[in-house]
Amino acid sequence: MEQELISKKELLELTKISYGQLYRWKRKNLIPEEWFIRKSTYTGQETFFPKERILDRIEKIKNMKGDVSLDELANMLSPNLTELVRKREDLIKLNIISKSTLEFYTEERGKDKELNFEKILYLSILDNLFDSGKINFDEGKLILTFLDEYYPKFKGKNCELLFLRKLGISSCCLVSKPNEINFENSMKVVEKLNISDLIEELKIKLV
């Protein structure tokens, strides 16, 4: 999982923000601690960031800064699940979850009128996987039960959902980040979903 890094200096030049702003956003937890990667260089210790993610994040902060306060923004960007409830129809209307996924969920879990954020998150995970054609409905069931049981333990943490297949048998697991995980060669990682990123996207769409 090698990722391209960008030094702090390059980042500031590229995004035209000042040191003060960067430190302020860090204090407000708009930029997660684990993105600050310290490395030794000839001038001593320097800080680097995962390039794609930090650029994306700074773009987001800059775009939204006018509309909401920094604290609200931090709330939006943190992996904590918000206390938010949405009606079924709204989810389809807002184009967050497809109709077929919602029907699948109704079959499995019955017809609640309103869904809380956690459920919406599960649904959007399923939606993602169904949409890419990587899993079938049976496997969807597997993931749904799995998430129901184990996701609450990871609540608020940075984590990734892995969907695996070996010799036609499928399975899934949750891995907290940052962490490295290796499988033997015949195990195929069908899909890797970063849940924190997904939560972020969802929050922006829902708010």
Point out which residues bind other proteins (CB under 8 A). 8-9, 13, 16, 18-20, 22-24, 26-27, 43-45
Sequence-distant (≥ 6) Cβ neighbours of residue 108 within 8 angstroms: 141, 144
Between the two ends of the chain, the Cα-to-Cα distance in Å is 32
Q: Output 28 or 141, the one with its CB closest to other proteins.
A: 28
In the complex, minimum distance from the CB of residue 19 to other proteins, in angstroms, rounded to a whole number: 4
In the complex, minimum distance from the CB of residue 26 to other proteins, in angstroms, rounded to a whole number: 6
Instruction: Give the integer Cα–Cα distance in Å for 9 and 147.
Output: 40
Q: Output 39 or 87, the one with its CB closest to other proteins.
A: 39
In the complex, minimum distance from the CB of residue 31 to other proteins, in angstroms, rounded to a whole number: 11
Contact call for residues 146 and 139 (beta carbons, < 8 A): no
Q: Output 61 or 143, the one with its CB closest to other proteins.
A: 61
In the complex, minimum distance from the CB of residue 131 to other proteins, in angstroms, rounded to a whole number: 40
Instruction: Give the integer Cα–Cα distance in Å for 48 and 5.
Output: 6
